Amino acid sequence: MSLDSLLMWIQDLPLAAAVRGETAGSEWLFPIIETLHVLTLTVVFGSIVMVDLRLVGLTSRGSSISRLTDETLPWTWTSWVLSAITGTLLFMSKAVTYYGNFQFRMKFVFMALAAVNMLIFHFGAYRKVAQWDTAVPPTSARVAGALSIAFWVAVIFFGRWIGFTT
């Protein structure tokens, strides 16, 4: 099965038609799912940026970073999963259009960059967090925090732009 026919197949699923509002009673499904997507992504971004700002040194200086991540990570992951589910439903409704959309692709490029950045931080500077937990983080950690903010801001910009270009 080629990619094109796979995307067509996804788009032709009854669920995808319902998200498009084509079945009786589903007229408001797309707006509702999109609103849930916005609500959950606000918590994803907000909780990530709280940690990033602390890493960069703009907020909560002197407070424990590992405690902050312990407090925020469950919220980040839970809301990320909900964002991914609602995002998948939105994607299904117009799979061919979204796949071919430049802004949509860029959104995923920047999410991938954010993920790589997070992994490098997690297996790099963060392994020795005990040494700088309440102090000024090492340069690599501060760079990771700044890059994370930049990448996620790009994700939101491109995400919002999808709605204006599809």
Partner 1 sequence: MFRPFADWLATTQLSQLFQNQLWVVPTSQSIHIICVCLVFSSAIMINLRLLGVGVKGRSISQLSSSLVPWMWGGLCVLLLTGAVQTIAEPVRQFVTPAFWAKMGMIIVVVSMTAVFARKVRANAARWDAAGSRPASARAFAIGSSILWILIIVCGRFIGYTWAFYA
Smallest distance from partner 1 to CB 160, Å: 4
Written as one string, the DSSP assignment of the chain is: --HHHHHHHHHTSHHHHHHTT-STT-TTHHHHHHHHHHHHHHHHHHHHHHHHHHHHTSSSTTS-HHHHHHHHHHHHHHHHHHHHHHHHHHHHHTHHHHHH-HHHHHHHHHHHHHHHHHHHHHHTGGGGHHHHTTSPPPHHHHHHHHHHHHHHHHHHHHHHHHHHH-
Residues 21 to 50 in contact with partner 1, rule: CB under 8 A: 28, 31, 34-35, 38-39, 41-43, 45-47, 49-50
CB of 10 or CB of 98, closer to partner 1: 98
Residues 51 to 90 in contact with partner 1, rule: CB under 8 A: 59-60, 63-64, 67-68, 70-71, 74-75
For partner 1, what does the binding mask look like between residues 144 and 163, x meaning CB under 8 A?
---------x--xx--xx--
Per CB under 8 A, does 101 bind partner 1? no
Chain residues that interact with partner 1, rule: CB under 8 A: 28, 31, 34-35, 38-39, 41-43, 45-47, 49-50, 59-60, 63-64, 67-68, 70-71, 74-75, 153, 156-157, 160-161, 164
